Amino acid sequence: MARLCPRKNSRRSNFLALSVSAISLGIIFCSFDPVPAGEDIGRSEVSSDNVPLPPGAIASAESAALLTSPVSEESGSHASGAGGMILNNDDALKFSLLMMQDGQRFIENVNAYSVVFNKQERIQGDLSETQTIDLKVRHLPSFGIYMKWKNGDTGRQLLYNEDYEDKKMCVKLGGFKGRLLPAIKLEPTSPEAMAQARYPVTEAGILGMLKLLVLHRQNDIRNGHGVRCVRLEDTEFDDRKCYCFLYEYDSPEFNKTYRKSLLMLDARYHVPLRVINHTWTENSEGLTASELDEQTLIEDYSFLQLDFGKEMVTIDFSRDNPAYRM
C-alpha cells in the first residue's frame, strides 16, 4: 500500500497539469477571432467584444487635442481627458504595432481581393486631386495588380504582374488617347512611372501599405521618444468599425517625412482603411491647427468596398486579357 501512494499523487499531478493546459489553450483560442472556412469575409458581422483591448485604451476627441501640447515631465506620458486617457506611448505604440502585424499576416494569406482605392498625394510640392481607382490585387501564387481609373484620366489602366520576365508595368491611357495609342511598358521605379505616384506599383495595395506602417511603428518604438500616440474613440468608415490611432512627432529628427498621422484600422481584420499623413513646413507661423494640416497634407489614402472573397483567375492579371485591350 505504501508504494501506491506515489502513483496516486503522480496521477493527480498529471491530471492537474492536463487540466491547466486545457484551460490555457481554451483561453488562447478564445482570444482570437478565426474566420471559418467558406465564410464571406468581405462583409462579415462581428461583435466589438471579439478583439481584446487594453484597459483605458480609448481617448475621446477632446483628449486627442492634448497631443498638440508637450507632455510635462511631471505628468509623464499620461494625460486624462473628458472621455478617456492617453496611454503611455510605449503601450499605445506597441498595441497598434501588434494589430498591424496581425493584419499583415492576414492579408498575406488572402489569395486575391478587389477594392476601390482613393488617393491624394503631394508630389514635388503640388497636391493632386483625389483619384478614385478600381483595384484587383493578387498575392498568391505571385504578386499581380490591375488598376482602372474612375476619374481624372477616366479609363486609364495599369497592370503589373511579377510573372512577366521583363518585370515592367503596362499602362494604357484613358479616353480617346487610349483608343488611338498602344499600351506602353515602364520600369516601376522609372521617373515616368513615379511622376504621378509617391510609391512604385510593386508596393501598391493593402499589404504594401501595412509593411510601411509597421516599419514606421518599429522605428518609433526603437527611438523610444519623440512621438506621441493616442488611440481615439472607435469610428465607422465605409460601414466598417475602425480602431483609430493618432501619431504626432516632435521634430523631423524622429520622422523626416511625417509630422502627424491618422490611422483607421478595420476592427476585425486589422488592415488600414484610411491613412492621412501630414509633413513638415517652415511656414507655420500664424496658422491655426486646421490650416496647418491643410497646408501640410502629403498623403490621404482610403480603401472602400473591400471584397476578400471575390474569385479571380489568371486572365485578370494578364496583358492578353481582351477586356483590357493592352
pLDDT at 191 over 80: yes
Cell of 114: 478587389
211 and 262 in a single domain? The answer is: yes
Residue 22 belongs to a domain: no
Question: With left for phi above 0 and alpha for psi between -120 and 50, is residue 64 left, alpha or beta?
Answer: alpha
Q: What is the pLDDT of residues 274-292, one digit of tens each?
A: 999 999 999 889 999 999 9
Q: What is the pLDDT of residues 225-275, one digit of tens each?
A: 999 999 999 999 999 999 999 999 999 999 999 999 999 999 999 999 999
pLDDT at 121 over 90: yes
198 and 212 in a single domain? The answer is: no
95 and 213 in a single domain? The answer is: yes
226 and 295 in a single domain? The answer is: yes
**pLDDT (average), residues 24-48:** 38
149 and 290 in a single domain? The answer is: no
118 and 181 in a single domain? The answer is: yes
For the full predicted model, state whether its pTM sits above 0.85. no
132 and 198 in a single domain? The answer is: yes
Residue 2 belongs to a domain: no
CA neighbor of 148 nearest in space, from 326, 324, 301 = 324
Q: What is the pLDDT of residues 198-213, one digit of tens each?
A: 999 999 999 999 999 9
Could you tell me which residues come within 8 angstroms of residue 305 by beta carbon, excluding any fewer than 6 positions away? 114, 115, 116, 238
pLDDT at residue 179 in the model: 86
Average model confidence (pLDDT) across the chain:
80
147 and 277 in a single domain? The answer is: no
134: Cα within 13 Å, side-chain hemisphere: 9
pLDDT at 32 over 70: no
Q: How confident is the model at residue 87 (pLDDT cuts 50, 70, 90)?
A: low
96 and 131 in a single domain? The answer is: no
pLDDT at residue 30 in the model: 42
Distances from the Cα of 7 to the Cα of 10, 18, 19, 21, angstroms: 5, 16, 18, 21
**pLDDT (average), residues 109-137:** 96
268: Cα within 13 Å, side-chain hemisphere: 17
User: Pick the residue with more confidence: 224 or 49?
Assistant: 224
Rounded (5°) CA angle 246-252-254: 65
Distances from the Cα of 9 to the Cα of 1, 4, 12, 21, 284, angstroms: 13, 9, 5, 18, 74
Contact 132, 116 (CB under 8 A): yes
Q: What is the pLDDT of residues 39-52, one digit of tens each?
A: 444 433 333 333 34
Residue 21 belongs to a domain: no
CA neighbor of 59 nearest in space, from 236, 246, 224 = 246
Residue 216 belongs to a domain: yes
103 and 214 in a single domain? The answer is: yes
184 and 116 in a single domain? The answer is: yes
Q: What is the pLDDT of residues 143-190, one digit of tens each?
A: 999 999 999 999 999 999 999 999 999 999 999 888 889 999 999 999
- List beta partners, residue 157: 148, 172
10 class by beta-carbon count within 10 Å (0-12 exposed, 13-18 middle, 19+ buried): exposed
For residue 147, give its domain range: 112-204+311-317
Could you tell me which residues come within 8 angstroms of residue 56 by beta carbon, excluding any fewer than 6 positions away? 84, 85, 87
Cell of 95: 498595441
233 and 287 in a single domain? The answer is: yes
The number of domains in the chain is: 2
- List beta partners, residue 136: 114, 146
